[in-house]
């Protein structure tokens, strides 16, 4: 195939996963329980009672999965480290077998010439920390910094770049505000101290990693926010939602200040969570790269429920994924331009650390995923043409996996997984992505 996307030489092609979604082996080799093990055991919490107990059995099958990556010709693989595998209760004694797993994984990736891009926290908090308040407790930020030091002590000699957190917006809102994800708390805006403590954790860990000569990224799920109309009510609602979804998680890191939270009814100090000096701790270890997880834009209207400052409304007349998410690739270009306009010089190079879609059914048809990736890569190339520094694209996801509270019902993988047999079958999008990567590489080879 021809390389249709005008992306630069050295652009990194990758695929992403996360520990709880693929590893399984939750009781093996000394791993402690995570909030997701406990949450998934609650009747009705996860669709069809699915859990990550086995998931894709990647803990045992990682060599096969690395072969699939090698077959794609990936430059990089984004995975997450399971905190409770390394520190079973979140703090205290290290579990050597847990660290050894990531040691083997990293070595096997390097052997296959694939750069590991680990994320330190992708939502599977050790239950031991949740028992002390989880991310609502400031102490968790300090425990995260210790954990980051332990993991990078072991792997930092081979892994130069680290992502601290994945999507603190989603973890805060789904996990602590709405309760649809672990740990299942329903605190609405009083959940926001959990956001601040995650950002503090990021800042504390980033300082440690920088002290070791490592590069640090943060992966945020960002969305362009569209007011449903030009009415003052819709515009104000869109601004409030933009603060909650985007700016709360990006302004302190890039600009060293929180946005005005008054439209959310949240005090400046986020219910006493923000202490003097905290925002400097978050901002000062300058990000070496911003990880952008992009799925869709969000359309917002003035609230009908007085308890909320906005209503999320549908986007008509566009295709939707199997998950019901609107497909609007141009929104990715729009978002990237908006980030440049908003943050200017403070915006570090961007890597797309997630982008993809769920497609219903098994291995075929897979054309919707190919179309999704192609149109989003085209949108990315348009942003590159506008001068935005975009370093790579990690598709979500390498393999079908546990889609959190949706269980195994949403298939995001380039590789089909039969969850009964664990048989992996590359889909049409796998072949398409493989050929695209090869064509891009060929274009720049001498
Ligand atoms: O599966 C998730 C992932 O864990 C975080 N980002 C969004 C993906 C699709 O919902």
Ligand 1 pocket test, candidate residues 79, 397, 409, most atoms within 8 A of CB: 397
How much is the pLDDT for 3? 52
Residue 167 catalytic? yes
Compute CA distances 58 → 113, 114, 144, 199, 236, whole Å: 19, 17, 24, 29, 45
Q: What number of CA atoms fall less than 13 Å from residue 400's CA on the CB side? A: 27
Counting ligand 1 atoms within 8 A of each CB, the residue from 79, 121, 406, 412 with the most, and so the one to mutate, is: 412
The token pair at 98 is 């847990």
pLDDT at 365: 82
Strand partners, 351: 291, 392
Q: Mention every residue, 6+ apart, whose C-beta is less than 8 A from residue 161.
A: 115, 117, 214, 215, 216, 217, 288, 289
Domains and CATH numbers, the chain: 12-443 (3.20.20.80)
Dist CA 151 CA 94 (whole Å): 10
CA of 446 from ligand 1 middle (Å) equals 37
Find the 212 Cα to ligand 1 centroid distance in Å.
30
Tokens of 211: 């002290």
Digit-by-digit pLDDT tens for the chain (446 residues) are 345 799 999 999 999 999 999 999 999 999 999 999 999 999 999 999 999 999 999 999 999 999 999 999 999 999 999 999 999 999 999 999 999 999 999 999 999 999 999 999 999 999 999 999 999 999 999 999 999 999 999 999 999 999 999 999 999 999 999 999 999 999 999 999 999 999 999 999 999 999 999 999 999 999 999 999 999 999 999 999 999 999 999 999 999 999 999 999 999 999 999 999 999 999 999 999 999 999 999 999 999 988 899 999 999 999 999 999 999 999 999 999 999 999 999 999 999 999 999 998 776 689 999 999 999 999 999 999 999 999 999 999 999 999 999 999 999 999 999 999 999 999 999 999 999 999 999 999 86
C-beta separation of 25 from 59 below 8 A = yes
State the pLDDT at residue 2. Answer: 42
Q: Which atom of ligand 1 is nearest to the CA of 404?
A: 1
pTM for the whole thing?
Answer: 0.98
- The predicted pLDDT at position 1 comes to 39
Catalytic residue among 23, 130, 167, 403: 167
Dihedral sign computed on CA atoms, order 314, 320, 323, 329:
negative
Tokens of 267: 């005090």
Q: Active site includes 386?
A: no
- Residue 39's alpha-carbon distances to 119, 162, 256, in angstroms, are 22, 27, 34
The Cα 62–Cα 144 span in angstroms is 26
Ligand 1 atom with least separation from CA of 396:
8
Q: Give nearest CA residue, ligand 1 atom 4.
A: 18
C-alpha 403 to ligand 1 mean position (Å): 7
- Closest listed residue to residue 34, CA positions, set 171, 162, 219: 171
């Amino acid at each position: 195939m021809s390389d249709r996307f005008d992306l630069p030489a050295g652009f990194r092609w990758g695929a992403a996963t996360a520990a709880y979604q693929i590893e399984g082996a939750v009781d093996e080799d000394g791993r402690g329980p995570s909030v997701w093990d406990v949450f998934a055991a609650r009747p009705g919490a996860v669709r069809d009672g699915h859990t990550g107990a086995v998931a894709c059995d990647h803990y045992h099958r990682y060599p096969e999965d690395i072969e699939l990556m090698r077959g794609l010709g990936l430059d990089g693989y984004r995975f997450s480290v399971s905190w409770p595998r390394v520190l079973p209760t979140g703090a205290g004694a290290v579990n050597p077998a847990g660290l050894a797993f990531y040691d083997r994984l990293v070595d096997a990736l390097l052997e296959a010439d694939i750069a590991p891009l680990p994320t330190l926290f992708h939502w599977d908090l050790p239950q031991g920390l949740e028992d002390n308040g989880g991310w609502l407790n400031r102490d968790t930020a300090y425990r995260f910094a210790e954990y980051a030091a332990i993991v990078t002590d072991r792997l930092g000699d081979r892994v130069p770049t680290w992502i601290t957190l994945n999507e603190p917006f989603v973890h805060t809102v789904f996990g602590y505000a709405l309760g649809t994800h672990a740990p299942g708390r329903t605190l609405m805006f009083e959940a926001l101290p959990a956001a601040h403590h995650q950002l503090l954790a990021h800042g504390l860990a980033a300082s440690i990693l920088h002290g070791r000569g490592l590069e640090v990224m943060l992966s945020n799920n960002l969305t362009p926010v569209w007011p449903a109309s030009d009415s003052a009510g819709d515009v104000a609602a869109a601004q409030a939602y933009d603060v909650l979804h985007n700016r709360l998680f990006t302004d302190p890191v890039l600009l060293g200040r929180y946005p005005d939270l008054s439209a959310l009814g949240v005090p400046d100090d986020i219910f006493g969570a923000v202490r003097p000096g905290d925002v400097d701790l978050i901002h000062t270890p300058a990000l070496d790269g911003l990880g952008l997880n992009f799925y869709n834009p969000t359309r917002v209207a003035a609230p009908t429920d007085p308890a909320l400052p906005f209503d999320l409304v549908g986007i008509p007349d566009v295709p939707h994924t199997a998950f019901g998410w609107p497909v609007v690739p141009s929104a990715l270009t729009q978002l990237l331009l908006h980030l440049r306009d908003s943050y200017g010089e403070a915006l570090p190079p961007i890597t797309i650390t997630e982008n993809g879609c769920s497609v219903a059914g098994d291995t075929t048809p897979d054309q919707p995923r190919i179309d999704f990736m192609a149109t989003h890569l085209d949108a990315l190339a348009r942003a590159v043409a506008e001068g935005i520094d975009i370093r790579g694209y990690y598709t979500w996801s390498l393999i079908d996996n546990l889609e959190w509270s949706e269980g195994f019902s949403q298939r995001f993988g380039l590789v089909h997984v039969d969850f009964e047999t664990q048989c992996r079958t590359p889909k049409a999008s796998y072949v398409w992505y493989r050929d695209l990567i090869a064509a891009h590489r060929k274009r720049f080879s001498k």
